[in-house]
Structure 1
Amino acid sequence: MKIRLLAAALLAGVAVANVAGAQDFDNRWYVTGSVGMNFQDNDRNTEDTPFGAIGLGKQISPSVAVDVELNYQNPATTRNSDLYWHQYGISLDLRKFFMNDKAWRPYVVGGLGYQYHSEEIAALNNNGPTHRKDGGLGAKAGIGLQSEGKRVKVRTEIAYRLDMDDEGVSPNFDGSIDDKDSFADLLASIGVVVPLGALPVAPVVEAPVAPSCSDLDDDGDGVNNCNDKCPGSQAGEAIGADGCAVPVSIDLKGVNFDFDKSTLRPDAIEILNNAVEVLKRNPAMRVEVAGHTDLCGSDTYNQSLSERRARVVYDYLTANGIDASRLAGPNGYGESRPLENTPQTLPACKSENNRRTELNTGA
């Protein structure tokens, strides 16, 4: 009963062991091999015997490993050495390691599996032995110590294995046979763990590289910090290659009008379309819409005519997508700003250069 309680307690402890968080560890598959002594349950009336085991396993975290292991033992019976007794099995074992930073790491182990038995049993009627071949659940619990190594690890272990052999029998010295539900064997072993494949290499983390000024544009003007001599400039301004604002001029080449007219001519519309494109490409630009006349006529008439000419250009710009907030005016200057100083009498006063509307930047 004490052995069963010990096995159950160790199995419960392993089952609730906390799996360590993710970190660097050797997670290669490995093979195991071990030899040791199987101290048989006295109720079996068998001799203690050597046993061997081989397995395949993997470390699934820095402190937890899982193994699949095959075992074999062949004890002699104490009542009749001529009767054979074989046992072999398979188990799935979980090992919980402690002291991960030490050269030798203690651990607890728990496992479940299947044990198969093949034995001869002396018959009471002297008609020869009977044979029993049967299997049952096996449970293992114990403690161990494992060394750390890159190529080979050494593992030594002591564990109890509870063999749920409910068909097992226990011959008595008086010849009678008692039925048994289970047997408990003590296993003491030493073995090796051999990792498979190359040792995993931790990824090299390169030191962060400070960004170059050639990759930065703090003011967002399209010129990198290395070449930007005017870091205060803003997106939307007309910016030169050095990051500084450059003057943008709109050369209307004269939006001219016919004599005494304020309607746009086809050549004027083409020029204004170019002006619209320039203004759209430079959204921070503001302009004044200024109308002018030649020197023919009275000052009062020419003032009114210049205002009508400025208005028709202003309306064309706003109708083609230029916001009115970017336009100053429309302003009329009459005949006060001639480009050509002509006589004020006909026909010399008729100057096409003077009867115009201009867009003046910097408004």
Structure 2
Amino acid sequence: MKQNKKVGLLGLVTCALLFSTQANAQMFDQDSQTKEWSKSAWYIGAGLGQSRTSIDEQRLVRSLMDNGANSVMFTKDERDLGYKLFLGKQLNENFAIEGGYFNLGESSFSALGNPGTLHGRVGFQGVNLDLLGRVNFTERFAFLANIGMHYTEAKAHFNGDRLYAVSDPNPSERKLNGKYGLGLEYQLTEALAVRGQIERHRVNDGVQNRGDVDLYSISLVYKMGQPAPQTRPAYVAPEPMPAPAPAPLVITETRPVQEVAKPRPVPVSEKINFSAEALFDFDKSIVKPEGKAALDQMLDSLKNMNTEVMVTVGHTDSIGSDEYNQALSIRRAEAVKAHLISRGVGADRVYTEGQGERQAIADNSTSEGRAKNRRVIVEVVGSRR
């Protein structure tokens, strides 16, 4: 029954987070306004997992032996269901303050002595305040480390015919202790992430013992107040220059009309720059419907051009390994090529190239700079009629 209540509580919180995200989620890293919001957003979270308590078996056995037991057979159950609820505030891209409530479940033991038995169980619950650090090693994955303090209440209960081995059958104790942890976080969207953590809580168990309780948990984290993404055209064809007004025609004499030679086509090379977010969903290499529309608009603007060669070049930011970014830039360039071919451009006239993160045009240390560096350039070589 106790575990069913915990599962039910965490299920309700998880469903609320998922429904909120389904109503408001926008794809991760869409624009600079969204990125600035994510650096200072408030967030909530809920986690569920397994707790493991270190029971001081030697001290309990020694206490029974000191009180007349000739031998002791000791069994213990150190694992239980644990959960936590937390509220956090991003201080910047790499640090956050996080506080919450946690319940680490119960551990129990049975000491079968000769003569007599002693049974006991102890549970832990409390509140915590942590400093959370984050280091991104890909666009979606981040390494987490947290350190902080927790104020925990330990409640114990003992029964059996060897109760005189303990001074109080129902002791409790409240103490302020330290805690720390490590984890990984995966961004599902800009607003929603899933987090796995291992956290160690230093505790007092109510009978003058100090020990550790570890919590292995999986959490959902939801950032609140996400702004609507700014809309901007993916590609705007340049407006044609107005033709100069013809000079006044003055006829001074009449001569036979001569055939005027047609102007020769003018060779040109044009580069059209698309942001990666305009063509692809985050960390994907499949052109989304909005991206296809932008590429079709580009092709429409080239109808008065004899196209000889088209080169699609993919670029990324610096988050992630060189090998991953190079492969992603090539996949995106190939995806653009495939769409151009599907719209009638000859396959032998389209070439692809991936530059990975090597040709940055902005500072990769800022979210705005990284957004500018994620791009696909289509270079068109031909002649204008």
Bigger Rg over Cα: 1
Bigger relative CO (Cα 8 Å, ≥ 6 apart)? 2
Q: Give yes or no for TM over 0.5.
A: no
Please give the TM-score of this superposition, normalised by the length of structure 1: 0.42
* TM norm structure 2: 0.40
